[in-house]
Amino acid sequence: MSRSVKIFWKAFFIAVAAFILFLLLCNWGVFGKMPSISDIQNPSASLSSQVYAQDGTLMGKYYLEDRVNVDFKDISPNIVHALVATEDQRFYDHSGIDFISLLRAIKGFGRDGGASTITMQTAKNLFTENWSTRNFLLRAIQKVKESIIAVKLERNFTKNEIINLYLNTVAFGDNVFGIRNAAKTFFQKEPDRVNVNEAAVLVGMINAPTLYNPRRNPKQALERRNLVLNRMVTNGYLTPQEGAKIKLEPIELNYKKLDETTGLAPYFRMVLGEYMKQWCKTHKKSNGEEYNLYTDGLRIYTTINPRMQIYAEEAVAKHMSYMQQILNQQANIKKGTVWDGHQNVLDAAMKQSDRWRNLKKDGLNDDDIKKTFFVPTSMRIFAWNNNREKDTIMTPMDSIKYCRQMMQAGFMALDPLSGEVRAWVGGIDFKTFKFDHVNYNTKRQVGSTIKPLLYSLAIEDAGFTPNTIVQDVQQSFGAYGMVPATSTSCTGASIPMAQALAFSRNCATAYIMKQLDPKGNNAAIRFVDFLKNKCGLQTNIEPHPSIAIGACEISLYEMMQAYSMFPGRGFNVKPLYITRIEDRNGNVLENFAPLRKEVMSDITAYSVIKMMEGVVDFGTARGLKMQFDVRGNIAGKTGTTNDNSDAWFMGYTPQLLAGVWVGCDDRFIHISSNSYNGQGARAAMPIWGYFYEKVLQNANTLGIDANVDFSKPEGMTNDIEIDYSNPNPNVPMGVEGDQQLMGNGTSQDYVPADIKPEDLAPESQIDTNKLPAFSPKKNNNTPKNGTTPTPTPKAILPKKVGGNIHQ
């Protein structure tokens, strides 16, 4: 053997040995971590957590990468055929590495196509990092690692399982990952319903998700789809005639991507997300790590009813657009004088804006930045139309005023027996105004809606009855002052307690408070103890006598819990909005069940119900049945705070409890105190009316029966009879007790004649006609013994600026 031959063979074997050593070093993780056999057998990718409604409707997701897994059996063969024909035509013949493609790639230096197989791409998606590096050496090492992992995948999985892994992890652009999300996002279809045309579009995107995105680049997407169809014909998945026919079809997208601003109940999902973040911190996976809401693919099943949620959003949109018209017509709004004396609020809002922060980063000083807020600029702002926006030109300072002058609302509906939340609307538009007005952290003065709670205590502990005579006279609490602050609204009349509630008499309510304990401030202390220890309010309420007429700030969330004791027959129930949480594999991590607590006797609860029916039938809320198509047994209470800063209506039937708050975030912006349009019966109650109208129109579907009566307690032989005749003409009817506005108005005062429910689409933009029919059933996963209550929801809320406390 010649010397040159010996050198050749020596070099050959050294090269082979070096390559084998290189492979071993790669496999051992010398050039970067390699997955273990356990990792390969149990591959894991970042999965979005999904939120489901009561009937299984997908409400929204929490994610970093929008990915949801799907089983191979639920993927259309059209997708599989398109994928194999386009990405790896010899997929079923190789063992992870396609040597024919590899030689072709080496020969043409990649110009004639790459060498990556579907298995190698799966390995890249699941187990490797920095795959997009342009460093030739690193990319070569990366390819070797992908090949080694691909061979291991082929040994541990079937071909169909590898395709399933690949399709669940591949990117489709628009931050959408996985075939299920892609099919749902671009075509609103499950992947097993995708036709050949749609399959070719989706598979065509894999090679370059942005370039071939049919939403962004329809021409390139069409050309790529036709290429996929040609390859399906070449590989025998389609006949030439079928391929030619489909190529003549357009790409018909039905694009809709779920993010934080889209999907059902966005305000609710924000609050739910904050709760779930805390839940993840206190719950561990099998490996000891905390759950991650954005990557672990949790499935969160909620109590939200999609139809009721849509009805609630429609009701808020319809009435708030009308209320905004009323506010905008006020002279102080038109002239801008409403901001006199409140420049500090505008300055604070200006410095909290993105514009200020961005210009500050660019190095501008405060004076120069402030000047930019008075330069007319093209911008897009919130507007009351179906898109909730319009393009306009105004100064940034004017846009701040415009947004802060928008009236806001909070609405919640729940089952008063189980506490299951059916609808949650935290504001007028989540995209623009993310401050939620329902959750525990948002406190507003409750006005007269606190009165039924005080009257309950008077019946339960002080022996009052609905017919007990009370004095409509201003009361002195010694050093703690007079309640109410002035005697202007006091009539001096002696009236039954039921009338005092129906007509919301402040002076009579102060009299009832004093009867609990006439010494100093003892009555207020006793009432606060009842609110906290019985009704379950967590808000810190100072024991001042003025709380009798609602001079305290409480969240709508807490008021709903407190009011649940009336239709709940004396049992208070905490709002429940999650039924169970599952991991990505469907294993139940936690079940949730109602947390009920006995607060008062059923006789007391029934007595208050009868009085609150009087509010709706004869008193401040009597416009509800006069102007809305509602029927059956309805009890409720209106509430209005000083200067019309807060308007409330809390109403319930035997099967449904709902509460409404309306006002502006800045309390000094409000409908004139001289106008009854800012009171609870005009500003808040119509939202309840619109909502319940739609509920009754679909009563059978929703499991609601308007003919159900409030249950009379066992042992009560005679029903409660209440006389609502008005013995004193000085007692105004139909308005709040602290307002001296006479009359009850006309239908136009309640309902704008030129606005119909369908004029404004609900914020969630979901067609209720496409929702499945649903009959409420008990959750089989709820444990019979022992309960796990849902903790109080918390949300990150903006810092409160300004604001006064009114009695």
DSSP per residue over 223-268, as a string?
HHHHHHHHHHHHTTSS-HHHHHHHHTS----------TTSSS-HHH
* Predicted local confidence at residue 145, as pLDDT: 72
Reply yes or no on whether the pLDDT at 768 is more than 50.
Answer: no
pLDDT-derived band at 63, boundaries 50, 70, 90: confident
The whole-model pTM stands at: 0.81
Determine the average pLDDT of the residues in 235-246: 95
Taking the chain, what is the end-to-end CA distance rounded to the nearest angstrom? 109
With a pLDDT cut of 70, the percent of the chain lying above it is 81
* Predicted local confidence at residue 386, as pLDDT: 83
Average model confidence (pLDDT) for the chain?
84
Per-residue pLDDT tens for 610-624? 999 999 999 999 999
Reply yes or no on whether the pLDDT at 318 is more than 50.
Answer: yes
Per-residue pLDDT tens for 345-403? 999 999 999 999 999 988 999 999 999 999 999 999 999 988 888 899 999 999 999 99
With a pLDDT cut of 90, the percent of the chain lying above it is 64
Please name the residues in contact with 134: beta carbons below 8 A apart, sequence gap of 6 or more: none
Domain 408-580+599-770 part of CATH 3.75.10.20: no
Reply yes or no on whether the pLDDT at 114 is more than 80.
Answer: no
* Predicted local confidence at residue 24, as pLDDT: 65
Higher pLDDT, 155 or 182: 182
Determine the average pLDDT of the residues in 55-69: 87
* Predicted local confidence at residue 450, as pLDDT: 97
Nearest CA among 577, 263, 269, 275 for reference residue 414:
577
Burial letters 165-174, b for 16+ CB under 10 A, else e: bbbbbbbbbb
* Predicted local confidence at residue 735, as pLDDT: 47
Contact 670, 678 (CB under 8 A): yes
* Predicted local confidence at residue 669, as pLDDT: 96
Relative to beta strand 49-52, strand 299-302 is: parallel
Q: How many CA atoms lie within 13 A of 70 on its CB side?
A: 23
Rounded CA-CA distance 635/759 in Å is: 29
Determine the average pLDDT of the residues in 127-152: 64
Reply yes or no on whether the pLDDT at 663 is more than 50.
Answer: yes
* Predicted local confidence at residue 10, as pLDDT: 73
Nearest CA among 533, 707, 505, 711 for reference residue 605:
711
Per-residue pLDDT tens for 257-310? 877 677 899 999 999 999 999 999 999 998 899 999 998 999 999 999 999 999
All structural domains of the chain with their residue ranges: 330-404, 408-580+599-770
Contact 258, 61 (CB under 8 A): yes
Higher pLDDT, 46 or 419: 419
Rounded CA-CA distance 191/545 in Å is: 63
What is the 3-class SS of 446-473, one letter each residue? CHHHHHHHHHHHHHHHHCCCCCCEEECC
* Predicted local confidence at residue 509, as pLDDT: 96
Reply yes or no on whether the pLDDT at 734 is more than 70.
Answer: no
pLDDT-derived band at 773, boundaries 50, 70, 90: very low
Rounded CA-CA distance 246/241 in Å is: 9
Reply yes or no on whether the pLDDT at 756 is more than 80.
Answer: no
Higher pLDDT, 391 or 40: 391
pLDDT-derived band at 712, boundaries 50, 70, 90: very high
Determine the average pLDDT of the residues in 668-681: 92
Rounded CA-CA distance 413/659 in Å is: 7
Higher pLDDT, 5 or 745: 5
* Predicted local confidence at residue 785, as pLDDT: 38
Per-residue pLDDT tens for 435-494? 999 999 999 999 999 999 999 999 999 999 999 999 999 999 988 989 998 888 898 999
Reply yes or no on whether the pLDDT at 249 is more than 50.
Answer: yes
Please name the residues in contact with 145: beta carbons below 8 A apart, sequence gap of 6 or more: 26, 31, 32, 34, 123, 128
Burial letters 512-544, b for 16+ CB under 10 A, else e: bbbbbeeeebebbebbbebbeebbbbeeebebb
Higher pLDDT, 314 or 778: 314
Reply yes or no on whether the pLDDT at 797 is more than 50.
Answer: no
- Describe the chain by its helix, strand, coil percentages, rounded to 5: 45, 10, 45
Higher pLDDT, 513 or 130: 513
